[in-house]
Amino acid sequence: MRKTTPSQDLIRGIWEENPVLIQMLGLCPALAVTNSVKNALAMSAATFFVICCSSVLVSSCKRFIPKEVRISAYILVIATFVTLADMLLQAYAPVQHKELGAFIALIVVNCMILGRQEAFSAKNNVYRSLLDAIGTGIGFTIALIMMGGFRELLGTGAFLEYSVFGPNFEPWVIMVLPAGGFLTLGFILLAMGYIEQRKKMKALMAAEKAS
């Protein structure tokens, strides 16, 4: 593992190692609940809460957790925070809770969260684990909002429920259906791959010119 500075811990998760778009983790919620920006935001907020709390707790308790049962212990920690998030959402944002339904409970099995515990929090101190969790959480949020925005815009002609295209717009219903999630993810990855390739080509051209 190469050495990183605290600011790199934070920034890394946002773009360079974006959990959804680069690492392809946590795709279940990214595909399932991004049919509107509001749902994407609620899911991101819940996941953000869970990953930050879990990272802090796991990194501060790591020396008490025997290696043999670490995965069970992480899952226990994550499941606890997910239950807390579930109850908080149900109490303070009941509409969103109803909308997200079973997917709140399924944050437990979001491999992005478990992945960060095993790969980072279990080996680093509390401060850096928190930074890493915040970065990953923001990266997850960005990915979900990108998908939610795209799908809501084309699927209902609105953004955050404000009509954008006017009443004459014929919504592409497929975009808010599950298939739309896969299509959207595919297009986003395509665009990212294209940008990445352009960047590489430019760097190559510049290097050739210099030599």
Q: Which residues contact 29 (CB under 8 A, 6 or more apart)?
A: 43, 47, 103, 106, 107, 110, 144
Q: Rounded to the nearest whole angstrom, what is the least distance from the CB of residue 129 to another protein in the complex?
A: 13
Size of the site for another protein (CB under 8 A): 34
Burial 53-76 (b: 16+ CB within 10 A, else e): bbbbbbbeebeebeeeeeeebbbe
Q: How far is the CB of 119 from another protein (least distance, A)?
A: 11
| By CB under 8 A, residue 93 contacts another protein | no
One of 84, 106, 126, 188 touching another protein (CB under 8 A):
84
Q: Convert residues 36-65 into a mask of x (bound to another protein by CB under 8 A) and - (unbound).
A: ---------------------------xxx
Site string for another protein, 164-183 (x = CB under 8 A): ------------xxx-----
Check residue 96 for interaction with another protein (CB under 8 A): no
Q: Give the residue from 14, 25, 42 showing the smallest Cα distance to 118.
A: 25
Segment interacting with another protein, rule: CB under 8 A, options 42-50, 80-88, 107-115, 203-211: 80-88
For binding to another protein (CB under 8 A), which residues are involved? 1-3, 32-33, 35, 63-69, 72-73, 76-77, 79-80, 83-84, 87-88, 90-92, 94, 98, 101-102, 123, 176-178
